[in-house]
Amino acid sequence: MSAMRRTVLAAAAAALLLTGCTGNNDSKKKAEETPEQVLAAAKKTLDETSGVHFTLDSKNVDAATNGLLSAEGVLTHAPAFDGKIVVQLAGLKPEVPVVAVDGKVYAQLPLTTGWQPIDPGDYGAPDPAGLMSPDTGLSSMLTATTDVKKGDSVRGGVGNKEVLTSYEGTLPASSAKVILPSVSGDVDATYTVTADDELRQAVLTGDFYGNGKTETYTVTVDAYGTEKDIKAP
């Protein structure tokens, strides 16, 4: 074996060894983090990304309740939102295209033409653009949650390439209002966080309409780094 070949092989072996050590150190560091530190890191990641793809789904919303059933779209730190929501209103469940930007919310309402400015509170929903606020948005829920306990870690995501760890705690009503302003009382919260400190899912269960019943809202966040120039229609 030539001296040059031996040198190349030695360098490759050293690189592999260094990579393995670094990975082990990273894993050890993650294992030593408290649940609060993990959620704080996930908040930081969400606050610093340019935008995300966002979905919201509901379960057990009473048929007689006027409220938010689902939402899907792009959120950016402009802040802005471009997507659609489904509301339950007088027994109907229309899917409504929505754009929120510059502190205003616009929608294409059923049986109307074009875009119209609306007050999302009239439909039991928050301003969707506010979901990206570091102070009162989705990320604020993470550090407001109390009595956090670490759950199981599983593989998931596309191709099962992500390591997903769950964290359970109690979210105060004042912080859960980011999802629905009408929430009554604290809610049970379960977050799923990736090894890269990305919030992937939040499952929130409580009395969201002040009617003594229990509803569940599931928020999913992915496609971190999304960029979109959202403008008023």
* Residue range 84-112: mean pLDDT, rounded: 93
How many CB atoms neighbour CB 162 within 10 A? Answer: 17
Range of the domain at 20: 1-32
- Report whether pLDDT(106) > 90: yes
Note the pLDDT tens digit of each residue in 63-88.
999 999 999 999 999 999 999 999 99
- Report whether pLDDT(145) > 80: yes
- CATH of residue 81's domain is 2.50.20.20
Do residue 90 and residue 62 come from a single domain?
yes
pLDDT (0 to 100) of residue 181: 93
- Asked if residue 46 belongs to a domain, the reply is yes
Number of independent structural domains in the chain: 2
Note the pLDDT tens digit of each residue in 12-28.
444 444 444 444 444 45
Do residue 89 and residue 155 come from a single domain?
yes
Do residue 104 and residue 194 come from a single domain?
yes
pLDDT (0 to 100) of residue 18: 44
- Asked if residue 109 belongs to a domain, the reply is yes
* Residue range 106-115: mean pLDDT, rounded: 91
- How confident is residue 100, by pLDDT bands cut at 50, 70 and 90? very high
Nearest to 141 by CA among 68, 55, 201, 101: 201
The span from the CA of 70 to the CA of 174, in Å, is: 21
- Asked if residue 132 belongs to a domain, the reply is yes
- Asked if residue 157 belongs to a domain, the reply is yes
DSSP state of 49: S
Quick check: 57 and 37 in contact, CB under 8 A? Answer: no
Quick check: 107 and 129 in contact, CB under 8 A? Answer: no
Do residue 135 and residue 180 come from a single domain?
yes
Do residue 84 and residue 4 come from a single domain?
no
Do residue 104 and residue 189 come from a single domain?
yes
- Report whether pLDDT(158) > 90: no
pLDDT (0 to 100) of residue 15: 45
pLDDT (0 to 100) of residue 113: 85
- Asked if residue 217 belongs to a domain, the reply is yes
- Asked if residue 194 belongs to a domain, the reply is yes
Do residue 17 and residue 61 come from a single domain?
no
Do residue 192 and residue 141 come from a single domain?
yes
- Report whether pLDDT(6) > 80: no
Query: Which residue pairs, CB below 8 angstroms and at least 24 apart, start in 92-99?
Result: 93/69, 98/73, 98/128, 99/230, 99/231, 99/232, 99/233
Note the pLDDT tens digit of each residue in 39-59.
999 999 999 999 999 999 999
Do residue 206 and residue 102 come from a single domain?
yes
- Asked if residue 160 belongs to a domain, the reply is yes
Nearest to 140 by CA among 44, 35, 70: 44
Do residue 21 and residue 39 come from a single domain?
no
- Report whether pLDDT(128) > 90: yes
- Report whether pLDDT(9) > 80: no
Do residue 14 and residue 104 come from a single domain?
no
Do residue 77 and residue 13 come from a single domain?
no
- Report whether pLDDT(156) > 50: yes
Mean pLDDT rounded to a whole number for the chain: 89
- Asked if residue 197 belongs to a domain, the reply is yes
